[in-house]
Structure 1
Amino acid sequence: MLARKLTSFIGSLAVVCGSLVPSYAQESPPAPSAPRSVKIPAVQTAKLPNGLKIAVVQRRGVPLVAVNLLIDVGAYVEEPDEAGIANMTASLLTKGTKTRTATEIAEAIEFLGADLNAGAGWNATNISLNVTSDKLAAAFAIFADVVRSPKFEQSELDLARSQALDGLTYNLKQPSFLSNYVATKYAFGEHPAGGTPDTLAKMTAASVRKFYDESYLPDRSTMIFAGDIDLVKAKALATRYFSTWKPSASKELIQSIITNAAPKSKPAEPKTPAGILVIDLPNSGQASVSYTKKMPNGRVDNAKGKPQADPGYYQAMVLNSVLGGGYSSRLNAEIRIKRGLSYGAGSGFGWRYGDSNFTTRAQTKNESAPEVASLVIDEIRKLTASSVDNDELVPRKSVLTGGFGRSLETINGLASAVSDLYAFGLPASELNSYIGRVNSVTDAQIRSFAADHLLGGSIIIVGDYAVFKNDLAARFPGVKIDVIKAADLDLSKDDLRK
């Protein structure tokens, strides 16, 4: 009797529970809500007599201040045989000054509860300070010291170089990292911003000092304050510590040597892919698959006589959100979710002043590398030929605008957004137009942009070539396949061979 009652109870419970289980799998995701308005504080500006520009975005309510010193010097000014010197110079700023050792700097910053960092990318160098507003004066004195009086001790350079070489030696054996480094030279005609084993080995304290003296100048710099600070206080701090910083002898800024984008005439549809480069890495556990394309569109358009955001920038951002910007993007849906060929697939743009670099990325088993490459090409072609309907386009725009709004809710995010604009000489008013310009991008513009700029790129595969050689040739008949053994690779050579 007890058994029958228990069975009956369990059966009833199952019916009740079953009725309570929501049918998530049978429902479409809810439509995105209306775009949130984003309140962006006004950017106030000033300029010191030596040319140092000051920008302040005041936001009260939280006692935090972020300071970014943006210097218009990055890897783009390096000679190829000095690749990595911009980032090395920046990284050594906090490793000792004329009055403080590296340990003393670290201990003082920690005592203040602050965060002090320096680094350089392709477009610019950035030295950042984050601190509570009541400790700003003390922390800013250290910030100014590392910028104005770095010592560049040979011992600190040796240590930094050793660490960089150890990391680089390890990473160049990883398919994904190696693919990125190879693409820099092969597809984009640049050199690695982080340097190569050869260029890092040749750096000296004297060469770092020379780079610093020639590049770290007030008339190439913008100091951005965000948070619990006003323009009067910001200018007073900058004046106290940076007014004696001497400008360059020539008033010509580095940015002036950068040419704007080439004329954007529509070319005939190029062969896609234009070619395939394989870096043969025997016995690698996985393969990295990338599609790479150099684009004539950059972050900036000078057509009207003054820098403004290139219209293609917003089209590219929305396009990328559809193609490879996140978990729900087409590449990830096709390669990971539908076929289980990778833990993740995506794409992105590396923005420059007058051009930019497009890359897709995925890591997979060696035997499935050709299939992944073929799927990437298919998805890019679809963008040029098929419509992106609103059911897909509206949510992908919401990913961008929502992320933008959230990023501006933090002091660091606000400082970073302003810094990004100043790095390209763009007006701060771009912040207010971002959401509107993203939402105005049309399906037709996406198709046109993809057809004009994404076709004709190259596939780069880093992996065990013997495993996928035959399948690769079968999937891409008539496409030239260039193979370089990883042991024969030389990143400083134009043909990448020793």
Structure 2
Amino acid sequence: MKKKSLNTVLLNTVIITFLLILTSSNFTNAFAQEIRLPQIKKETLDNGLKVIVIEHQELPVVAFRLVLKSGSVFDPQGKAGLANLTAELLRKGTKTRNATQIAEEIDFVGGTLGAGADRDATFATCRVLNKYLDTGLDLLADIILNPTFKDDEMERLRKQIIAGILQQKDNPESVAEENFRKFVFGEHPYGQPQEGTEESVSGIAREEIVDFHKTYYVPNNAILAVVGDIKTDDVLEKVKSKFGSWRRKEFVTPDFAQPPQIKGHQILLVDKPDLTQSYINIGHFGIERKSPDYFPVRVMNYILGGGGFASRLMDEVRAKRGLTYGIHCNFDSYRMKGAFAVTTFTRVDSTLGAIQATLDQIQRIRTEKVSEKELSETKSFYNGYFPLQFETPEQIATQILNVEIYDLGEDYIKNFRKNINAVTADDILRVAQKYLDPDNIKLVVVSKAEELKTGLELMGNVEITSFLK
């Protein structure tokens, strides 16, 4: 999960609110039709590479998205950022092209070529006009199969990543989020920043990058989606030609450290004496992406704090009490159990009030059924929002691959609206009681420790650390 600034949260709040208005209107019927994707062709090559091809002929473009089911969660202990650094280096040179040649070749055909890693997966993407399909596929295959990880490119990229990390360390919003993840997950990889730390990225050797690539960049760990104005049989033959020689190799999934248990209110106070605002993260463990309770949890989260100005947290903490300009909550969508987190900011002298108001709303949704109006508006939002995720070849490829990565089932997309609309107020009460626990929770506050320590100690056990630590 990439870091979201509070400005981003505010922007998302406005967008969500606009979509809610839109999908509550007469537009809903148009958006709410069952999603009908073109025919999906799936084939697994002899080496284990799973290929998914979808003909989507509305625009003369083709999108490739290759996913490896090994993201930053596979970073070894002390080597946070390894998956990200490996992925970012893919475009920096292959056995037949240097970084400049790769950039010039994709620019010449007006395409894009990218790579990166998130928590659960590594991805490489390419988008070109369909007449340049061969060029796009050749470049994608080349960076996946033949990267050279040259020392000079590695050091240049390492410096760029570290510069970004240092910049984030000056941002109290980012510091609050990174400390929260570490506080909740401990030594589990979900507690480490995807980009790594200054120390971990500095300590990654070229041999470790080569080994990560050799171990996890294998066809039996990969899925390739091709979507666009194409012919399925033609694309499959071209994919076999480019990726058929990719050698299968078995690998062992790492053992992951168990996150620490959460008992009572555990508070981490990050001291930054010059702040006039407090940056707050509140939460605990959430659910797995494949959880059978995913849909009621998603609806519940929207009503609580994921729904912009329509949410209870925004209504209570912002509109009624005037304690913040923005507050948002979210459940991670990860392969393993992620985090539930509420993020907000407020004046230093309003910190305790904002925290208590948040905890009160979490408790309220566990004890009172949501209203039919809240439930109806949330369903209307998702009925309109979900189809908008299938407008471009890139979006279609991303959604199809998410189904594959998280093993959501063949009918997930078809049944999304059905599953959302089946959620009841009783379901929300049940999952709120099961997955929200305001009595056992972790809080991270980046603020003036001297002014808040005494008040926070009345809420729970307080640990103080320096902002610059």
Fold shared per TM-score above 0.5? yes
| C-alpha separation in 2, matches of 1:108 and 1:342 | 48
- 2:219 alignment counterpart: 218
CA contact (8 A) 1:220 1:254 kept: no
| C-alpha separation in 2, matches of 1:200 and 1:227 | 37
Does residue 463 in structure 1 map to residue 452 in structure 2?
A: no
Does residue 314 in structure 1 map to residue 315 in structure 2?
A: no
Question: What is the identity, as a one-letter code, of the residue corresponding to 1:434?
Answer: F
CA contact (8 A) 1:152 1:205 kept: yes
- 1:100 alignment counterpart: 97
| Count of aligned pairs | 435
CA displacement 1:386-416 (0-9 Å, x = unmatched):
1111111111122223211111122221111
Displacement of 1:182 in angstroms is 1.2
Q: Which of residues 171, 179, 182 is equivalent to 2:176?
A: 179
Q: Identity percentage over the alignment?
A: 27
The alignment partner of 1:176 has SS state of: helix
How does 1:290-439 map onto structure 2 within 5 Å?
A: 290-295=281-286, 297-300=287-290, 310-327=291-308, 328-439=310-421
| C-alpha separation in 1, matches of 2:303 and 2:23 | 18
- 1:277 alignment counterpart: 268
Does residue 141 in structure 1 map to residue 138 in structure 2?
A: yes
Consecutive unaligned residues of structure 1, counting only runs of 5 or more, are 1-27, 260-269, 301-309, 490-498
Larger RCO (CA under 8 A, 6+ residues apart)? 2
Displacement of 1:365 in angstroms is 2.2
Does residue 48 in structure 1 map to residue 30 in structure 2?
A: no
CA contact (8 A) 2:114 2:124 kept: yes
| C-alpha separation in 2, matches of 1:379 and 1:368 | 17
How does 1:73-92 map onto structure 2 within 5 Å?
A: 73-92=70-89
- 1:152 alignment counterpart: 149
| C-alpha separation in 1, matches of 2:316 and 2:345 | 14
Consecutive unaligned residues of structure 2, counting only runs of 5 or more, are 1-20
Q: CA 1:47/1:481 → structure 2, altered by over 3 Å: closer, same or farther? A: same
CA contact (8 A) 1:321 1:397 kept: no
| C-alpha separation in 2, matches of 1:246 and 1:54 | 16
| C-alpha separation in 2, matches of 1:258 and 1:220 | 19
Displacement of 1:118 in angstroms is 0.4
- 1:238 alignment counterpart: 239
Q: CA 1:48/1:366 → structure 2, altered by over 3 Å: closer, same or farther? A: same
CA contact (8 A) 1:421 1:427 kept: yes
TM-score of the superposed pair, with normalisation by structure 1:
0.83
Q: Larger deviation: 450-459 or 120-129?
A: 450-459
- 2:9 alignment counterpart: none
- 2:13 alignment counterpart: none
Select the structure of larger CA radius of gyration: 1
Displacement of 1:439 in angstroms is 1.1
TM-score of the superposed pair, with normalisation by structure 2:
0.88
Does residue 446 in structure 1 map to residue 457 in structure 2?
A: no
CA contact (8 A) 1:75 1:193 kept: yes
Displacement of 1:30 in angstroms is 9.5
